[in-house]
Structure 1
Amino acid sequence: MAAERRRWLPLPRSLLGRMLLLTLLAILAAQTLSSVIWLSQLRATQLEGLVTTARSLAHSMSASVRYFRSLPVNYRPLVLDQLRSMGGTRFVVSVNDRPLQMKLLPPTPRKQAVTETVTEVLRQALGSAADISVTFVRPDDLLIFNGGLKLDELPRSWAHYALTLEPLNPPVLVTQIQLAPGEWLYIASLLPEPYTGLEEPILPTQQLWFILLTSAFLLLFIGLLVHLQSRPLKRLARTARHLSLGAEVEPVAEGGGREVVEVARAFNAMRERISRYLTERSQLFSAISHDLRTPITRLRLRVELLDDESLQAKFGRDLDDLELLVKGALQCVKDTDIHENIEPVDLNYLLHGLIEPYLGSGRVTLDGAARDLYPGKPLALRRCIGNLLDNALKYGERAHLHIEDDAEAFVLHVDDEGPGVPEQKLEQVFEPHFRLASQQQGYGMGLGIARNLAHSHGGELSLRNLRDGGLRVTLWLPRQSR
C-alpha cells in the first residue's frame, strides 16, 4: 500500500521541493476556498441588486399601465405613434388584441427571480386578479405586433435602440398585461447595466492575476527562506559523509535556526567522541599486538626445549592456533581501520593491477570498465577488491569480473566457479572466523573485511548464488553522495 501511494503521489526528494509543494497546495486550497466564498457573496449581492432593479422596473411598468388605462381609447394609438417616433425610451410598448406567443428562453435562477419580482410588484399595483405574463425572449425570436413582425423587420428607430445592445444581444423582458377584453398592453425592455445579460458572475481576470501573483511571491520568499535554512543541514550532511569515510574534518559551523544549531552542536560532540575512540582503539590494538607476540614467541622457545616429541607437537599445534587467532583479529582491525585521505581513484588501473598476475593462466576475466575516477581511499579499495578476488580464486578456482558504472553507482560483480554458499549461511560468511566445512584455508576474515571497507565508502557488499553454479559477490559503491 505504501509503495502504491508513493507511485501515485510522488514527492520531491529535497526539503526545498517538498516545502514548495506543500506551500503551493496550501495556497491553492486557501485561494480556492476564499474565491468560492467571495464569489458566493458577490452572487448574493448581485442577485439582491437584480431584484431591486426588477422592482424599480416593475414600478415603471405599473405607472405606464395606469397611464394607458387613464387615456381615452382613441388617444392610445396616437401616444404609441409618438413613442415610436421619439425613440430612446426604456420600453417598447404596443397594444395587441391577444397575448403574443413566442419561443421562450429556458428558466434560470436569475430569470425566475426577475419574473417573480416583476409579477409580484405588478399584482400589488394592479390587483391580484390582473392577467399578467412575464417572460424572457431572445431578440431573434421577439415579436412586437399581432401580425408577427420580428424585431429586425421593424424600423430601427422604433425598437432597435431600446432592445438591442450589439454585439451582446441580451435577453428581452416581455411583459403582457390585459387592459380589457381583447386588449393587451405589450411592454418589452432590457434590464439596465450591470444586469443586462443576466449571467452568473465568474471569477474576474483581475482576481485570477491577484491569486497568481500572490502565490508566486509567496513561493519565492518561502523558497528563499527554506534555502537559507537548509544550507547548514547540507554542510552537516557533507561533513557527516566525510566523517564516515574516516577523513579528518573540521567542526561544523553552528548557524541557522535554533534547532539546526543544536543539531550541529550534537554532531560536533559526536565527532570528537568518535575521533577520540578511534585514536584510543588504534593505540590499544598496537599495544595488544606488541604484548601478545612476545609471550607467544617465548612459549615457542620453551616448547623447543621439551624432550617429549608428542607433547611438543601438541603444544606447537595449540600455539599455531593461538597465533592464527591473534593474527586474524589484528588483521581485521588493521584492514578495516585505514587512515587515508579521500582522493580520485582510477578503478580501471587498480583492477588491472590486481588481475595482471592471473591473465596468463586464464583464471581471471574482466568485462566492462569504470567510466571516470571514483573519490575514495586507494589502499582501502585495493584491499577490498583484492580480498574479493582472492576469495573467488581460493574457493572457486576462477574469477569473472563484470563492471557496471553509471552516474549513481559503481558496481563490480565477482563470479566464481565454486560450490557456492548455502542460502541460510549467506550472511554468516561475513562474520569473523566463520568458515564453511569445505573451507579450511585462511582466517575467515576476507569477506568481513571487504564489507567493512565497502561500508566505510557508503557502499554495500552482497552475495548471491548463481543459477548455473558458483557464487556472485557484488560490490556497490555510490557516486551521487559524493
Structure 2
Amino acid sequence: MPVLRSKLRRLLPVPRSLLGRMLLLTLLVVLVAQALSSLIWVSQLRASQMEGLLTSTRSLAHSMSASVSYFRSLPLGFRPMVLDQLRSMGGTRFFVSLNDKPLEMQVLPETPRKHAVLAEVDAVLRQNLGRNVDLLVQFVSPDDLRIFNGELKLDEVPRSWAHYALSLEPLNPPVLVTQIQIAPNEWLYLASLMPEPYVSLEDQGLPAQQVWFIILTSSFLLLFIGILVHWQSRPLKRLATAAREMSLGATVEPLAEMGGSEVVEVSRAFNNMRDRISRYLGERSQLFSAISHDLRTPITRLRLRVELLEDEALQAKFSRDLDDLELLVKGALQCVKDTDIHENIEQVDLNYLLHGLVEPYLGNGQVTLKGKALASYPGKPLALRRCIGNLVDNALKYGQRAHLHIEDDREAFVLHVDDEGPGVPEQRLEQVFEPHFRLSGQQQGYGLGLGIARSLAHSHGGEVTLQNLREGGLRVTLRLPRHAN
C-alpha cells in the first residue's frame, strides 16, 4: 500500500497547502459529479431522441406503404404518367421511380440509430404490405445514390426532378432508399431524407451548451471554495507563525479567538499552552537563579572550613570533592544560560556569521569553509552563533581541524562540520549529547558543547546529528529547516 501511494503521488502531485488541496479535491468532486449528471442527462436525452426518431420513422413508413398501395392500384399504363406528373409538380415527400430491377448502391455503415430506422421501416412495410413482400431498405450517401435503370447519379438528372426531395445544402445527409417489388420485373423506388431533427442520424456527443455549463459552474464553485478556504485558513497561518516564533523564544501575543468553532478551539488551546509555557520558563529562571545564589554561599563556607583542617591529605580530598561539586553547579548553570537566550527573531546573514566564526582560523588552515547560504535565515543571531561556534570548537578540540561544508536549498540550510579526530564509537553517538558526558576522563570542559548546540538547534526547529566518516573523523551535521513565512 505505501508503494501504491508513492506511485499515485508521483502521477498526481498533491499540493502542500490547505488551499491547494481543497481546490484539487473540490475540482475532482465537481468533475465526477458533473460527469455523472451529464451521463444521466445524455442517456435520457438520447432515449427521448430515439423515441421521437422511431415515431417519425413509423410515420414515414406509413407514407411509403400508402404510396406503394396507390401505385399498385393504378393500371400499368397510368403509372409512368403519374410519375411524370409528380416530377413536374414537385413538392412531394419522396422521389419515386419505377425500375425493372433493384439498383445496387454502396450502402453506408450502420449506426445504432440507422439500424433502428431500417428495422422500423421494414417492420411497418411488411405489416401493411404483407410479410412476403420483396423489399430493400438502405441508407445511401447522396454521392453514391443511383436513381433510374441506367443508374444515373443525383447530379445527372434535372434539379426539379429529385433535388427538392434529396438534397439539403450545405449538409450532405444520408438518403433512405426503399425498393419494393410491386409486379414482376417492376420495382417501385422511393428515396427521401429523414425529417427534422433527425436528418443526420449521427450520435452526437455532449452538447456545447452543456460543456460550457460544466466549465462555468466548476469555475464559480472553485472561486467561492478558494475564497472560503483562504478566509478560514488565515487563523491557521497566524497560529503557525505564532508557534514558530514561540519556539524561538520570542514574545508572542495571544491569538485572536475567531473563525470557525474548530479554529477557535485550537486558538484557545494555543493561548492556554502559551500561558503555561511562559509561567514555566519564568519559574525555571527564578529557580536556577535561586540555586546559583544558594549553592555558592555554602560551597564558599565549606572551602573556608577546609582551609582550617590540619590534615593535609584529608584537606586535599575535601578540596577535590568541592571542586567536583562546583564544576557540576557551574556546568548546570552554564547549560541553562547558554540555552535560555532571550532574543528577537530577525533575518540572519548566515554567510556573515560563519565567516566571522572561522576568520581567526583561516590563516593557519585549521578551518576550511566550502559553499554558501543562498538566503538569510529567520532566527536568533546570538543563539545561532553559539550553536555553530560550539560545533566548530568541538571539532577543533577533539579533531584538531574543522572542515565546514554548506548545502542550502529552499527546504533547509545544512552545515556539515568534519574533523580529523578518532571519531565516536557507534554505540555512544547519542550519549555524547548528554550533559557532562566525556569519552575519557582527561578531556577538559563541562561536556556540554554538543548538548547546548542541539538544544539551540531544536529551538529553531532543527537538529544536530553525528556520523563517523569512513576515511576517519567525525561529521556533525546541523540542519535548520526553512519554514514558510
Q: TM-score, length-normalised on structure 2? A: 0.96
Give the secondary structure class of the aligned counterpart of 2:404.
strand
> Is the 2:166–2:193 contact (alpha carbons within 8 Å) kept by the matching residues of 1?
yes
Question: Is 1:152 matched up with 2:155?
Answer: yes
Q: Distance in 2 between matches of 1:349 and 1:98?
A: 102
2:299–2:326: 8 Å Cα contact kept in structure 1? yes
Residues 407 and 480 in structure 1, CA contact (< 8 A), matched pair in contact too: no
In 2 relative to 1, CA 149–356 (structure 1 residues): closer, same or farther, beyond 3 Å? closer
Output the CA distance in 2 between the equivalents of 1:438 and 1:311. 23
Q: How big is the shift at 1:400?
A: 1.8
Equivalence for 2:212:
209
1:4 to 1, 4, 7: 7
1:260 aligns with 263
Equivalence for 1:195: 198
Match of residue 140 from structure 1: 143
Question: Taking structure 1 as reference, are residues 368 and 121 closer, same or farther at Cα in structure 2, changes over 3 Å only?
Answer: closer
RMSD over equivalenced CA pairs, Å: 1.6
Go from structure 1 to structure 2 and tell me whether the alpha carbon gap of 1:157 and 1:464 turns closer, same or farther (over 3 Å shift).
same
Residues 1:477 and 2:485 are matched in the alignment: no
Once residues 443 and 223 of structure 2 are traced to their aligned partners in structure 1, the CA distance between those partners, rounded to angstroms, is 66
Deviations 1:439-479 (A, max 9, x none): 62222211010011011112221222222111111222233
- Counterpart of 1:154 in structure 2: which amino acid? V
Decide which moves more: 60-69 or 438-447. 438-447
Distance 2:356 2:135 in 1: 106
2:43 corresponds, among 40, 45, 50, to 40
| Pair 1:448 & 2:447 matched | no
Equivalences for residues 26-425 of structure 1 within 5 A? 26-425=29-428
CA displacement, residues 340-387 of structure 1 (integer Å, 9 cap, x when unaligned): 112233333433333343334332223334445433222212211121
CA deviation map 1:240-283 (0-9, x unaligned): 11111111111001111011011101110110000000000000
Q: Contact 1:93–1:188 at 8 Å: present in 2 too?
A: yes
- For 1:179 and 1:290, how far apart are their aligned partners in 2? 128
Is the 2:466–2:477 contact (alpha carbons within 8 Å) kept by the matching residues of 1?
yes
Separation of aligned partners in 1, 2:374 and 2:188 = 94
Q: 1:14 matched to which residue of 2? A: 17
Query: 2: distance between equivalents of 1:175 and 1:130?
Result: 12
Distance 1:117 1:163, change over 3 A: same
Q: C-alpha distance in 1, partners of 2:429/2:60?
A: 92
Q: In 2, distance between residues paired with 1:123 and 1:342?
A: 94
Residue by residue over 1:183-238, the C-alpha shift from the partner in whole angstroms, topping out at 9 and shown as x without a partner, is: 11111111011111111122111111111001000000000000000001111111
Counterparts of 2:159 and 2:26 in 1: how far apart (Å)? 58
Q: CA deviation at 1:166?
A: 2.4
Contact 2:361/2:367, CA 8 A, preserved across alignment: yes
Query: Percent identity between the aligned chains?
Result: 79
8 Å CA contact 1:43–1:201 kept in 2: the answer is no
Q: How does the TM-score come out when normalised to structure 1?
A: 0.96
Q: CA deviation at 1:285?
A: 0.6
Paired residues in the alignment total 482
Structure 2 CA distance, aligned partners of 1:27 and 1:351? 53
Q: Residue type matched to 2:214 in 1?
A: I
Distance 1:179 1:359 in 2: 114
One-letter amino acid of the counterpart of residue 106, structure 1? P
Q: Which amino acid aligns with 2:164?
A: Y
159-168 or 342-351, which deviates more: 342-351
SS of aligned partner of 1:255: coil
C-alpha deviation, 1:4, in angstroms: 3.4
Whether the 8 Å contact between 1:87 and 1:157 is mirrored in structure 2 is yes
In structure 2, the CA distance between the partners of 1:396 and 1:117, relative to structure 1 (3 Å rule), is same
By how many angstroms is 1:423 displaced?
2.2
Q: Distance in 2 between matches of 1:4 and 1:183?
A: 71
Instruction: Measure the CA separation in 1 of the matches of 2:205 and 2:360.
Output: 81
What SS does structure 2 have at the residue aligned with 1:472? strand
SS at match of 1:375: strand
User: Match for 2:394: what amino acid?
Assistant: N
